[in-house]
Structure 1
Amino acid sequence: MAELLGIRTYPVKGEPGHDHRTAIVGPEGLEGDRRKKAPVHVVAAEDDRDDLRANLVVSLPAAELVAAIGSGLRVGEVALAVTGTARDCPGVYADVTAPGRIGVGDPVTTGREPA
Structure 2
Amino acid sequence: MAQSASHLRDALKRSEAECREQRARAGRCARELAGLSGRCQELQARLWERGQEAEGLRAALGAALRARDQLEARWVQEKQLEAQRVNEANAREERYRNQVSRLHQKLERLRLGGTAG
Q: Which category of TM-score, normalised to the shorter sequence, fits these structures?
A: under 0.3
Relative to total residues, which structure has the larger strand share, 1 or 2? 1
TM-score scaled by structure 2?
0.12
Q: Which has the higher contact order (CA 8 A, sep 6+)?
A: 1
Larger radius of gyration: 2
Relative to total residues, which structure has the larger helix share, 1 or 2? 2
TM-score scaled by structure 1?
0.12
